[in-house]
Copies of this chain bind each other. A is one copy, B any other.
Amino acid sequence: MNRLSSDRLDATFAALADPTRRAILARLASGEASVAELVEPFAMTQPAISKHLKVLERAGLISRTQDAQRRPRRLEAKPMAEANEWLEKYRQFWEGSFLRLDDLLDEMKGLETKGTNTRGARERAPGSKLGAGNKKRGRARSQGKTQ
């Protein structure tokens, strides 16, 4: 929620957004592997894989050990826990298909009552066509980087 965890989420999700990197993680799930072993399945040069490994490493998803000239990587899945936590907050939205989304929203709205929504943005009832009362909300443009 704070800036730090937001940055970590950035790095984690970005690392997971590439199929090559996900495949590398899958490979490492079955045991640590050298760079050469990680290169082997891909139609890609070793430096390219080394770059992917660096991305995964900066995201904390893998670590290196040493074994002579080899630098085997191993899986470090903890950042996934944080990504998972973030996703969990939305679980009700994908699991509750038996409820219409509107109902869920209405329900949340009941619990909310200006608790979480600190910025003064107002919701209209879903399905309501009327925009009355929407005019002249303050803009309050903020500065700096998002979140």
Q: Which residues of A contact B (CB under 8 A)?
A: 6, 9-10, 13-14, 16-20, 22-23, 25, 27, 29-33, 36-37, 40-44, 67-68, 70, 74-75, 77-78, 80-81, 83-84, 86-91, 93-95, 101, 105, 108-109, 112, 116-117, 119-124, 126, 129, 131, 134, 137, 139-147
B residues near A19, Cβ cutoff 8 Å = 6, 9-10, 146-147
* Copies per complex of this chain: 2
Q: How far is the CA of A36 from the CA of B122 in the complex (A)?
A: 11
Which residues of chain B have C-beta atoms less than 8 A from A117's C-beta?
A: 27, 30
- Closest Cβ of chain B to A40, distance in Å, is 5
Q: Which of A16, A25, A116, A145 has the most CB of B within 10 A?
A: A16
